[in-house]
Homo-oligomer: A and B are copies of this chain.
């Protein structure tokens, strides 16, 4: 299993718009065969930071996700609510 934490910094005042735009991505990602979980959280101490917590069966599942219709269509739409690029960290079990 591989965990991904993708942290994005939002522009001021766009949280609800961002969540609305992200809803379809979250729903369809959770339906992917290789997806264990795909959830959005907010930094308790910095409301401009939102984080997608993802759990995938393996690298192949991540590859399929990154090439999925919903990922390739929705991610560019989300980036307009963000400041700079997301910080994406991959974690493996030890």
Contact = CB atoms under 8 A, between A and B. Distances in A.
Interface string A41-66: 11111000011010000000000000
| Count of this chain's copies in the oligomeric assembly | 2
A91 B41 contact: yes
Q: What 4 A-B pairs have minimum CB-CB distances, sorted nearest first?
A: A41-B91, A44-B90, A42-B94, A44-B92
24 contacts: A2-B44, A3-B41, A3-B53, A5-B5, A15-B94, A19-B94, A39-B93, A40-B94, A41-B92, A41-B93, A41-B94, A42-B91, A42-B92, A42-B93, A43-B89, A43-B90, A43-B91, A44-B90, A44-B91, A45-B89, A45-B90, A50-B94, A51-B91, A53-B91
